Amino acid sequence: MQRWALVVRRTERGRRRRRWLFPLVSALLVAGLAVPVVSSDPVGYGVPFWPFANGSDRVEWQVMDQVTATARAIGRLDAVPDAVADEEVEVLAARIGADAMWMRVRLHVPDGVRCREVSVLGDTGVRVNSRRVDC
C-alpha cells in the first residue's frame, strides 16, 4: 500500500530578515568612509557636484579642465606653463623633464585662493593628474 503525505517546509523568518542586513550595513559603512575622503578634494576625484562640491569646487573644476585641454593641445611640455598662466591661474613653480612635466599652480576661486600640483605625463599631455595642496 502506498501512502501519500503533504510535506510543507517551514522557513525561519528571523534568518530571512537578517540576509539583507549584512550587505546593507556594509554598503553604508563604505559610503560613510568614502564621503569625507571624496569631499576633501572633489576635483581630484572627479566628482565636482553636490553633495561633495561647492561653487568654488565647480569653478576649480572648470579651470583645471582648461588646464588639461591646454596641456593636451600643445605639442611641447616646456610651453605648457606659459600657455596655462592667465588671470585665473598663476604658475608658481614648474619642472620639465623629457616626457613629464610638474607644476604648482594657484587658482583664484570665489571663496579665495587654492593651490594644486599638476603633473602632465607624455609628450602630448596624454595623462594629466592633479591634487590639492596648501598654498
A 10 A CB-CB count for 132 gives 17
pTM across the whole model: 0.71
Residue 43 contacts residue 98 (beta carbons within 8 Å): no
Torsion 54-110-128-104 (CA) sign: negative
pLDDT tens figures, 12-35: 665 566 778 888 999 999 999 988
Q: Which pLDDT score, from 0 to 100, does residue 114 have?
A: 92
Q: Which pLDDT score, from 0 to 100, does residue 47 have?
A: 87
In the three-class reduction of DSSP (H, G, I as helix; E, B as strand; rest coil), residue 5 is classed as coil
Residue 81 contacts residue 103 (beta carbons within 8 Å): yes
Mean pLDDT of the chain: 84
Backbone angles phi, psi at 119, to 5 degrees: -120, 135
Q: Which pLDDT score, from 0 to 100, does residue 13 have?
A: 63
In this prediction, residues 54-74 reach a mean pLDDT of: 87
Q: Which pLDDT score, from 0 to 100, does residue 16 have?
A: 62
pLDDT tens figures, 85-119: 887 889 999 998 878 889 999 998 888 899 999 99
In this prediction, residues 77-84 reach a mean pLDDT of: 84
pLDDT tens figures, 115-135: 999 998 876 667 888 899 988
Q: Which pLDDT score, from 0 to 100, does residue 105 have?
A: 92
| Percent of residues, the chain, with pLDDT higher than 90 | 19
